[in-house]
């Protein structure tokens, strides 16, 4: 039996991470993510876990990658400025397929921006932030309860697919308190990375068969694992610049292992009243709650509105969205930035469909009435 508890989003994130088996957290304080670090510093040592306050965010993600290679389940938490600093090491974790969870609690940018104000302007950065080709895995909860469950799912995906997973939410969700249902530990599905069973001499840290993920040995177990940020083959040792196939196969693998398994347990989204929707609202996180209220209000006025809410933001469920979108005449994107989700859905929009953008970046949340007005405007469109 679980229980109902009241907590903030940041508290839910820290508690869920520990429930998922996280035993190593390294971080650097930053509004609006700091409470995650604070709670980890209190709770982790009680269970022999490690909390480390590093000298900066570059060191924080470096330390968790190292700890993951030594066998721990790991997490760091930050906001835009720190997330920007982490990008180079994030790429290192991708190319070496190191499981780790990175929380980006979005505040208004760019730069220092407005530290205490919410935003949703890191959507694209979580997909493209680091240089080079790689496949991002990003989850975007919209409530305190979903922060709890999605944090656990983020760990499961990271361990299963051996790569970084980003948990993305904003300053409002971070700091607001909600009543949530917390399941008992034995009711929660927890996935741990698979460990090698082969002879130690035969172990390769990577497997580049398309959808496979190699088991991950830990440092100190005698496997003599080789990790390198240079383009490497399955042994982990660098590939020569003349070996074009070798240089390509690693990239294929980073994409295939996610794309080939996408429909199994990576894809996730919520739909609300989409079956006959003329106007489809697309929104994530805290804004999607205003959007849902706006859709309900539109329905009361006789407008056939619906909501499409990605929970796995990246990779975006283009196929499903296109199918759902077939019947609608207009799309409304509602987001706390100057236009990012609209660039995602535009790929799936027919030239006969209208796109109405509701953007806000003055530090306020988008009200349901404002989204309702966008729905009404979109509904006027004659195809």
The structure tokens listed for 210 are 């398309």
- 241: contact with another protein by CB under 8 A: no
Q: Does residue 107 interact with another protein by CB under 8 A? A: no
Residue 66 lies near another protein (rule: CB under 8 A): yes
Closer CB to another protein, 206 or 361, in the complex: 206
Stretch that binds another protein, among 180-188, 191-199, 214-222, 331-339 (CB under 8 A): 214-222
* Bridge partner residues of 268 (DSSP): none
Residue whose CB is less far from another protein, 59 or 137: 59
Q: Say whether residue 339 binds another protein (CB under 8 A).
A: no
Answer for which of 29, 58, 207, 255 binds another protein (CB under 8 A) is 58
247 near another protein (CB under 8 A): no
Q: Distance between CA 24 and CA 67 in Å, rounded?
A: 7
Whole-angstrom distance, CA of residue 16 vs CA of residue 39: 12
17, 25 contact by CB (below 8 A): yes
Interacting residue with another protein among 13, 22, 52, 139 (CB under 8 A): 52
Q: How far is the CB of 126 from another protein (least distance, A)?
A: 20
Q: Looking at beta carbons only, is 2 or 45 nearer to another protein?
A: 45
Which residue number, 196 or 306, has a Cβ lying nearer to another protein?
A: 196
Count other Cβ atoms within 10 Å, centred on residue 177.
12
In the complex with another protein, the residue whose CB is nearer, 19 or 65, is: 65
- Closer residue to another protein (CB): 232 or 289: 232
Find the binder of another protein among 192, 207, 212, 221 (CB under 8 A): 221
Q: Residue 223, interface with another protein (CB under 8 A)?
A: yes
Measured CA to CA, the distance from residue 129 to residue 87 in angstroms comes to 6
Q: What is the smallest separation between the CB atom of 232 and another protein, expressed in angstroms? A: 9
Nearer to another protein, 38 or 221 (CB): 221
Region binding another protein by CB under 8 A among candidate stretches 6-14, 59-67, 138-146, 309-317: 59-67
Q: 94 with 231: CB under 8 angstroms?
A: no
What does the CA dihedral 169, 172, 173, 176 come to, rounded to 10 degrees?
160
In the sheet with 305-310, reading across from the earlier edge strand, the strands are 269-272, 305-310, 279-282, 330-335, 354-359
Phi and psi dihedrals of 164, rounded to 5? -65, 145
Among 7, 21, 22, 24, binds another protein (CB under 8 A): 24
Strand partners of residue 354? 330
Q: Binding to another protein by residue 346, rule CB under 8 A?
A: no
- C-alpha span between 167 and 378 (Å, rounded): 31
Tokens of 173: 């969700």
Query: Is residue 278 a contact partner of residue 356, using CB atoms and an 8 Å limit?
Result: no
- Among 16, 33, 65, 281, indicate the residue that binds another protein (CB under 8 A): 65
Compute the chain's Rg from CA coordinates. Answer: 21
CA distance 184 to 186: 6
CB of 28 to another protein, least distance (A): 11
Among 2, 6, 70, 112, binds another protein (CB under 8 A): 70
User: What would the two tokens of residue 346 be?
Assistant: 């535009």
The region of 14-22, 46-54, 191-199, 286-294 touching another protein under the rule CB under 8 A is 46-54
| Of the candidate residues 16, 225, 239, 281, the single one contacting another protein (CB under 8 A) | 225
Cα gap 334→368, rounded to integer Å: 10
Compare residues 2 and 220 and give the one whose CB is closer to another protein: 220
Contact 177, 108 (CB under 8 A): no
Is 29 a binder of another protein (CB under 8 A)? no
Hey, CA dihedral for 111, 59, 116, 343, is it positive or negative? positive
Task: Give the binding range for another protein (CB under 8 A) out of 56-64, 145-153, 283-291, 317-325.
Answer: 56-64
343: CB partners within 8 A, 6+ apart: 124
- Which residues form the interface with another protein (CB under 8 A)? 24, 26, 42, 45-46, 48, 50, 52, 54-56, 58-60, 62-72, 74, 88-89, 92, 218-230, 237-238
């Amino acid at each position: 039996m679980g229980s109902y508890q009241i907590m903030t989003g940041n508290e839910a994130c820290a508690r869920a991470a520990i429930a998922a088996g996280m035993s190593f957290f390294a971080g650097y304080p930053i509004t609006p993510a700091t409470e995650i670090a604070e709670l980890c510093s209190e709770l982790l040592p009680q269970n022999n876990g490690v909390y480390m306050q590093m000298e900066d965010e570059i060191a924080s993600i470096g330390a968790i990658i190292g700890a993951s290679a030594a066998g721990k389940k790991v997490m760091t938490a930050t906001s835009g400025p720190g997330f920007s600093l982490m990008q180079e090491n994030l790429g290192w974790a991708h190319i070496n397929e190191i499981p780790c969870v990175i929380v980006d609690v979005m505040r208004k940018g760019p730069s220092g921006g407005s530290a205490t104000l919410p935003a949703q302007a890191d959507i694209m950065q979580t997909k493209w932030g680091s240089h080079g080709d790689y496949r991002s895995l990003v989850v975007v909860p919209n409530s305190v309860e979903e922060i709890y469950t999605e944090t656990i799912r983020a760990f499961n995906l990271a361990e299963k697919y051996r790569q970084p997973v980003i948990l993305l939410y904003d300053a409002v969700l971070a700091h607001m308190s909600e009543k949530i249902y917390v399941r008992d530990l034995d009711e929660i599905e927890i996935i741990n990375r698979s460990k090698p069973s082969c002879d130690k001499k035969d172990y390769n840290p990577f497997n580049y068969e398309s959808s496979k993920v190699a088991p991950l040995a830990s440092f100190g177990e005698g496997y003599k694992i080789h990790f390198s940020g240079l383009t490497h083959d399955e042994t982990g040792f660098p590939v020569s610049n003349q070996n074009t196939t070798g240089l390509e196969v690693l990239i294929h693998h980073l994409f295939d292992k996610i794309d080939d398994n996408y429909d199994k347990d990576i894809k996730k989204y919520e739909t609300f009243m989409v079956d006959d929707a003329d106007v489809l609202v697309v929104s994530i996180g805290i804004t999607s709650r205003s959007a849902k209220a706006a859709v309900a209000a539109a329905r009361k006025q006789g407008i056939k509105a619906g909501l499409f809410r990605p929970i796995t933001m990246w990779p975006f469920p283009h196929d499903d969205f296109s199918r759902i979108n077939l019947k609608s005449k207009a799309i409304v994107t509602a987001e706390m930035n100057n236009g990012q989700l609209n660039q995602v859905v535009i790929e799936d929009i027919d030239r006969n469909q209208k796109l109405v953008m509701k953007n806000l970046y003055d530090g306020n949340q988008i009200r349901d009435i404002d989204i309702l007005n966008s729905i009404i405007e979109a509904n006027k469109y004659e195809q």
